[in-house]
Structure 1
Amino acid sequence: MRLPTVLAKSRPRENLTSHLAATLAGAMDLCRRVGRIAPTESVTGDRFWPAVCLAALCHDAGKTVDGFQAMLRGRIRSWGERHEVVSLGFLPGLITDEKLLLWVAAGVATHHRSLDGDRRSLMAMYGGADETEWRQRLEPLPAEVADELSAWLSATAAQANLPIVVSPESRHDVLAEALRVFDLLIDKWEFRVERDEGLTAVLLQGAVTLSDHLSSAHGVLHMRQPLDEDFRSLLVRTFAAKGRIIRPHQDAAGAVDGHLILRAPTGSGKTEAGLLWAATQVSAVATKTGGVPRVFLTLPYLASINAMAERLGRLLGDDTLIGVAHSRAASYHLSKAICPDDDDGQAEAATKAVSRAHATRLFRETVRVGTPYQILRGVLAGPAHSSILIDSANSVFILDELHAYDPRRLGYILAAARLWERLGGRIAVLSATLPDALANLFTDTLDQPVHTVEADTTGARLRHRLGLRNRHLTDPASITEMKERLARGESVLVIANNVADAQHLFAELSPQVEHRFLLHSRFRRMDRAKIERLINDHFGVDGSRQAGLLVATQVVEVSLDVDFDCLFTSAAPLEALIQRFGRVNRIGARPAADVLVHTPRYAPRRRGGEDYADGVYPQLPVQTGASVLSRHDGEAIDEAHATAWLDEVYGTAWGLAWREDVLKHRQTFDEAFLRFAHPYAGRSDLTERFDELFDGTEAILVQDRDAYIKALDQGGDDKAAGQLLGERYLLPLPYWSTPLTTWEKRLGVRIVEADYDKTLGLGEIRGPAAHVYQAGEVL
């Protein structure tokens, strides 16, 4: 027998049949976890999961060709052909149902590359090839090995109770059959298909790709959802230990069966209400689909995501159940590790952090905390992103604090929410600041009823006293007032709209304060992680209130469990201001605390156009919100009125234009990303558009170049660990800022020449296009 010597991989060396068996096992686990998916059943009947499992079993069968084996054994550098097309030839010996055959073939052929649409596609490589060319490029395929593998595939599929026929004794021509099936695939997917068929196609691709990745990484999917029917009892016990009870709005949220809108003030236990709702939905979805629903909790800012992940880990008693799903997840895990000064200790910590981040990328955990945009990447489909889509099927989504004032991103998220619903999902929007205009958009977007729960704030202590200041936050008189509060020994929060103002204020205020912190988005990863930990330790709700200063930008608005005596802030959209207010007198244990709102500067951005508040927020919603607040200057304000105030803002002509803008972007995203009319076509153009919208870029400082190289080497043979240690030096920049950097090909990183301080963050840039940098435009 030659089959046991056939390899699937060379590093580490792995036998082909072992890899195929592990991939089948991964597919069967995925089937058990995801369960029945309604759109796929309408298209394939009961064929979807059998097709996934058969494709997983056969996906790498084509690696039996001599050319691929020679490459794995180092006899040639590159084979230059694709094993997937050879794998197709093994399918007709197993499958006689032509519809099932085509679905299995689609999963096999597209688990690495698109079928059509770009120069790397299978169609570009093999389209129009006749049998002579086909054989010249793909032969030889040893007949003995092909026969042994065919028999093994048949026996393994039969043992797994998959719908196959027993292979006949007569030998079939694998390469001839591969060409025939490949031509059938091209004919099948050449033209546009209906929405559900296209969606089924990318879900199939995602399931096969994920199963392959699980097998290659020797990963195992978690099959337990900690947010289940026992979660309420856990929460009751946790609350009792702190002298608290479950509040009526939390109970009401937990009683909802279906989509939810929850309005509740910051500090009222909104997160726990959302988790109680999620636990109810998990039970309902599991009963309906037979799967183990995943729970996604999304937040808009990195700092709030990291804080929420730690908070959930403490609540559930095991942070290994929580996946952190954002672009810097490995850096987050490294920042939590105790990282000694010695190089070996740092390398070991980095290896563990990489392993944990890889587990999340393999969708191992059943609870994920991240940004909405990480889940949205699934719409890019293709081998790289379709796994995200299959993982989101039959899942539960908690969208915490959607930002209504960004109509494009909001429109895209709403379009995605409609897709998640089609995939069997349940969705909740939690907010202290949800205008009816946004609630109505959410309700109109979804087909199933949306239930609304509002916290009863009757008799609640008024937490904040509003004060308006007709001067800028950086005005000398404003700074004097801040210094007076600091001199009294108060904990003072100052929130600027842009980085430049935050840095200026910190420089003015910090000399007289012992405990002082600055937080914004332009720090190196390792510096920001340290600052966030120190802020939570000093100002956290669970600790004793301490004097000190935090100057920050918008990054503190959501989900940080911090508590201050007073707030000085620049005016912003009303919902952002209410979020900022929520960082002061957080649990209402004290008399109303001062929240002081300052007039921003209104001016066009560098390229002209409409005026923006401090270079960040459009003028009209900021001014309208300020006008609403002006009626309450000097008063202790009731947060129960926040919705009415927001409705006034969104009821203006600006609000009507905002609604039309959101609807336009919802439709644009649906048409560009969610139709899947050509599901196996390359989507590189869409990927670039997506990254421009949601992703920034990163660079290292010129002065960190040597340290970055040393960090890369520190990982030794573990290149990923070395890369992670190097990533500590990365500095986030907006996507448009790439002209400010130079690309160093050897290191694979952008380099920026700029002033930098680990306390202050990014300073003046002196790069090749420094004249385009304007700090006020950077969030």
Structure 2
Amino acid sequence: MPSVILAKSSNEENTRPLTLAEHNNDLLDIKRYLLEAFPQVQRISTLPEFWEILHTAIIFHDLGKAHAEFQKVLLRYKNHKWCGQRHELFSLPFVAGLSLHPDQQELIEKLVAGHHKPYHKLLHHCEELYDEGDFATQFQAVDTAAVLDLIKEYGYELQTFKVKPPNQLFLHYKKQMHERRVPLVQPLLMLTGALKHCDHLASAFIRKKDLQLLDSSNFKFLDQKLSSPYQHQIDAEQTLGSTILTAPTGSGKTETALLWTRKQMQEQGRGMVFYILPFTASINAMWKRLGNPENGLNEKVGMLHGNLDAVLYRELFEEFGGDTQKIKDKIPAIKKQFREMMTPLRIVTPFQLIKHIFGLKGYEKGIFEWTGAYFIFDEIHAYDPGVLAQIMVLLQYTIDKCGVRAFVMTATLPSFLKDLIAKTLGSHSLLKASTELYQKFKRHRIQVLGGEITEALDLVRADLVIGKKVLVVCNTVQRAQEIYQVLSSDSTNSILLHSAFNGEDRASKEAKLKNESLPDLLVGTQAIEVSLDIDYDVIYTELAPLDALLQRFGRVNRATKKAPCPCFVFEQRNDKDRYIYPVEICERTLISLREMENEHDGIVDELTLQAKIDFVYPRFSEKEQQEFDQVVDSLTYSIEHVLVPFNEDKKSEQDFYDQFDGVKVLPIELKAEYYERIKKFNFIHADMLKVSIRKNEFQRWRKDGTLQPERLHLEKNAKDSMDVPVWLLQKPYDQELGLLKYLELSMLDLNDNQL
């Protein structure tokens, strides 16, 4: 009588070994979820047998585990002779025995072979382990009777099976890749992603009942929230297909996007929803907003970005009463929930999507998730030409190959960029807020002042004296720190906010800005331009490009409940601004500001802002255009040559990571506290003490000795120890001011004359 084939060893999750039949059934359970959650896959893949092929691949994917020596490994026998072989290779002879159409048979063979490792690694494995005839000899240790008995339970009967050297498959695929003729490459990518999802979720003991479904009924809360919708919101709910929306800040663009999403789902069916934002602060705020239990989404909403650990730590700290062990235990479960398909609406940075077209680990799963998905792009104006180029390539690929529909929304976007997006979307609709709505949004009165902002601090003081809530925005961290030092004594409640705080201090400051009672004085940098839902009475700001200024103005009279509020812009720039914003853009912005100042008594007419934006940004500069074209060409080439299943390209992976500029370092004053947290193995809490610096700063300070590497030694117990590497920065850090890159400790107290 054939023996039972084991698939998994016993562990904390399962107290006994898991049989292959049980494992296969778990995968089939996930497959049933995929059928419900991704109803458009069969049509988009152009493969009528998509689900049948996936079903067969599931049944056959782990049959090679019936090898006697692998069974000993699962039973934890010490005298096994498995020698690191790959079980999936011993599944292939059974696939070869199927009587299917050659195209289907080839797809299943490739899926089974590649459901764990890239092909080039499997080829190297075969060349190292098997000489001619060795694989066939090893295959004799497979319990074929047990395999045939198992697959018969699923309706498969093999008359024979063929044992061929598996390296033939990998060499053949290598040739197909080289000649760029991998057959059915897009359906194969989708099938690979689907199989890996099934295998990974089942292996993590996630079941269909644990996975969320998102459909149009989950957006019912919008009907109550929008009892009197704007016209562009009504239009969005009647629009099918990709769409571009232009509407002023504060006109309910997020709700408009969700109304559009509901309409798509009603007509097209379910699909993953990706809400794409440029900044982690924006993502955190949107996650809280959409995940509010009062909405119908709640646990269906997840988020992904590079600082997720720290955000979750802060969120859980109060819930668990500061119990760090409970927090550390909970975070991995939440992250798994966000990364897997347990949250069908994800709020992400574009890089969480772009990484898949660079072929980073897990890209096949990502591409499957895009099939029939809905992309919502918010704040699309915020990207530089290089990132925008990647987004355009992403959109082109996902619309053409994955059936994605996209909703792109903006308050201020140059016409040449809008045309570029429209061309990328292909067939699409244009929506715009009504003229009547624009005319209601009279929130800001512009006044351009001569000189630098540092010469007008008495104006700020005067506003503080009469009880106004004052916002001051600078273009550099150093200037913000200097002004804050001078003005903070004039306010009983003031905050400085910029990018040179560590994660812990910045989060603390942002939390204070969420209180009903705002600080009287907020001084900051570009960090203020995004996500903060604050409403000040007046703003004093250094000159910046018009779109950046409009974002800053949006933090004043945000709710439009006051008469137009003053927005003071200083025409003279400090020297370091020139490294941040192009001179010609700022010069054109100043011309536009002067025009607005002389029109309508300085009150900003948001209906005419498009013409002002187009004047400031008529086109890319020559340098920007070259960067944009270069990125589009190189990434398109990479998609055509690298983005195939079962591949791994280290150069493409390095290209992706090279574009990120931040390096985390630890200010020397925080070393003692960092070490205390590390000693408790609270790595996330410790990491929140680090400050991010640019790569050029890292290289410069490392060279001159300002930055020093150190290893902190930890002992878990008498037998187990570890070293934790950290870069220590010999620069002053102040909880109120942040990292003082340019000032010495002796210069912390400035007055107006020194400034």
Match of 1:639 among 603, 606, 614: 606
- Sort the Cα spacing of 1:181 and 1:485 in 2 relative to 1 into closer, same or farther, 3 A: same
1:571 maps to 543
SS in structure 2 opposite 1:397?
strand
1:213 deviates by 1.7
Give matches, 1:91-106, under 5 Å. 91-94=95-98, 96-106=100-110
1:260 deviates by 1.3
Match of 1:280 among 263, 269, 272: 263
Q: Does 1:193 align with 2:169?
A: no
1:6 deviates by 2.6
1:445 maps to 424
- Sort the Cα spacing of 1:147 and 1:471 in 2 relative to 1 into closer, same or farther, 3 A: farther
Distance in 1 (alpha carbons) for counterparts of 2:551 and 2:393:
25
Question: Please, what TM-score do these two structures have when normalized by structure 1?
Answer: 0.83
1:592 maps to 564
Distance in 2 (alpha carbons) for counterparts of 1:535 and 1:550:
9
2:395 maps to 417
Distance in 1 (alpha carbons) for counterparts of 2:736 and 2:133:
64
Gaps of 5+ in 2: 713-721, 744-755
Match of 1:59 among 51, 61, 75: 61
Distance in 1 (alpha carbons) for counterparts of 2:501 and 2:458:
27
SS in structure 1 opposite 2:514?
helix
SS in structure 2 opposite 1:147?
helix
- Sort the Cα spacing of 1:727 and 1:645 in 2 relative to 1 into closer, same or farther, 3 A: same
SS in structure 2 opposite 1:90?
helix
Q: Does 1:139 align with 2:109?
A: no
- Sort the Cα spacing of 1:139 and 1:762 in 2 relative to 1 into closer, same or farther, 3 A: farther
2:717 maps to none
2:222 maps to 235
- Sort the Cα spacing of 1:212 and 1:665 in 2 relative to 1 into closer, same or farther, 3 A: same
CA deviation map 1:268-323 (0-9, x unaligned): 2122112211211222221xxxxx21211111111111111111122525532210
Q: Does 1:666 align with 2:643?
A: no
- Paired residues in the alignment total 713
Distance in 1 (alpha carbons) for counterparts of 2:541 and 2:638:
39
Q: Does 1:32 align with 2:10?
A: no
Q: Does 1:758 align with 2:741?
A: no
Give matches, 1:520-559, under 5 Å. 520-538=498-516, 546-559=518-531
1:502 maps to 480
1:15 maps to 18
- Sort the Cα spacing of 1:113 and 1:626 in 2 relative to 1 into closer, same or farther, 3 A: farther
Distance in 1 (alpha carbons) for counterparts of 2:557 and 2:31:
50
- Sort the Cα spacing of 1:29 and 1:468 in 2 relative to 1 into closer, same or farther, 3 A: same
1:211 maps to 198
| 2:642/2:649 contact within 8 Å kept | no
2:52 maps to 50
1:467 deviates by 1.6
SS in structure 1 opposite 2:579?
coil
Distance in 2 (alpha carbons) for counterparts of 1:656 and 1:187:
40
Distance in 1 (alpha carbons) for counterparts of 2:593 and 2:623:
22
CA deviation map 1:346-400 (0-9, x unaligned): 2112322321111111132111112111111111336433212211221111111
The farther-off stretch of 519-528 and 434-443 is 519-528
Match of 1:82 among 86, 93, 112: 86
SS in structure 1 opposite 2:541?
strand
- Sort the Cα spacing of 1:675 and 1:557 in 2 relative to 1 into closer, same or farther, 3 A: farther
1:728 maps to 688
| 1:573/1:625 contact within 8 Å kept | yes
1:756 deviates by 2.6
Aligned-pair Cα RMSD in Å: 3.3
CA deviation map 1:714-765 (0-9, x unaligned): 56xxxxxx54444434433445555446375955654232433333333339
Give matches, 1:160-559, under 5 Å. 165-168=156-159, 172=161, 176=164, 178=166, 181=169, 185-186=173-174, 188-193=176-181, 197-220=184-207, 228-229=216-217, 231=219, 233-240=220-227, 245-286=228-269, 292-314=270-292, 316-317=295-296, 319-339=298-318, 345-381=323-359, 383-403=361-381, 406-422=384-400, 423-456=402-435, 457-473=437-453, 475=454, 477-538=455-516, 546-559=518-531
Distance in 2 (alpha carbons) for counterparts of 1:220 and 1:523:
42
Give matches, 1:559-708, under 5 Å. 559-599=531-571, 601=573, 613-633=577-597, 635-651=602-618, 658=624, 661-673=627-639, 676=642, 678-694=644-660, 696-702=662-668, 704=670, 707-708=673-674
Q: Which amino acid aligns with 1:752?
A: L
Distance in 2 (alpha carbons) for counterparts of 1:100 and 1:338:
52
Gaps of 5+ in 1: 159-164, 287-291, 540-545, 604-611, 716-721, 767-779
- Sort the Cα spacing of 1:445 and 1:731 in 2 relative to 1 into closer, same or farther, 3 A: same
| 1:304/1:559 contact within 8 Å kept | yes
1:773 maps to none
Distance in 2 (alpha carbons) for counterparts of 1:596 and 1:661:
34
1:643 deviates by 0.9
Distance in 1 (alpha carbons) for counterparts of 2:623 and 2:374:
31
1:635 deviates by 0.6
Distance in 2 (alpha carbons) for counterparts of 1:95 and 1:699:
60
- Sort the Cα spacing of 1:340 and 1:324 in 2 relative to 1 into closer, same or farther, 3 A: closer
Q: Which amino acid aligns with 1:642?
A: L
1:771 maps to none
CA deviation map 1:558-612 (0-9, x unaligned): 3432211111222222212111111110121101111122346476xxxxxxxx7
Distance in 1 (alpha carbons) for counterparts of 2:197 and 2:310:
23
CA deviation map 1:683-719 (0-9, x unaligned): 221111111214634344455556556545656xxxx
Distance in 1 (alpha carbons) for counterparts of 2:578 and 2:412:
22
Distance in 1 (alpha carbons) for counterparts of 2:661 and 2:9:
33
CA deviation map 1:498-520 (0-9, x unaligned): 32223223222223323322222
1:606 maps to none
CA deviation map 1:407-455 (0-9, x unaligned): 1111110111112212111111111111211110011112223323234
Q: Which amino acid aligns with 2:234?
A: D
Distance in 2 (alpha carbons) for counterparts of 1:700 and 1:24:
48
The farther-off stretch of 572-581 and 125-134 is 125-134
CA deviation map 1:654-691 (0-9, x unaligned): 55775565344333322224554654332221111111
1:770 maps to none
SS in structure 2 opposite 1:551?
strand
- Sort the Cα spacing of 1:556 and 1:131 in 2 relative to 1 into closer, same or farther, 3 A: same
- Sort the Cα spacing of 1:590 and 1:294 in 2 relative to 1 into closer, same or farther, 3 A: same
1:155 maps to 153
- Sort the Cα spacing of 1:25 and 1:268 in 2 relative to 1 into closer, same or farther, 3 A: same
| 1:62/1:84 contact within 8 Å kept | yes
Distance in 2 (alpha carbons) for counterparts of 1:135 and 1:405:
53
CA deviation map 1:533-581 (0-9, x unaligned): 2211246xxxxxx452222222332343221111122222221211111
- Sort the Cα spacing of 1:695 and 1:363 in 2 relative to 1 into closer, same or farther, 3 A: farther
Distance in 1 (alpha carbons) for counterparts of 2:65 and 2:668:
45
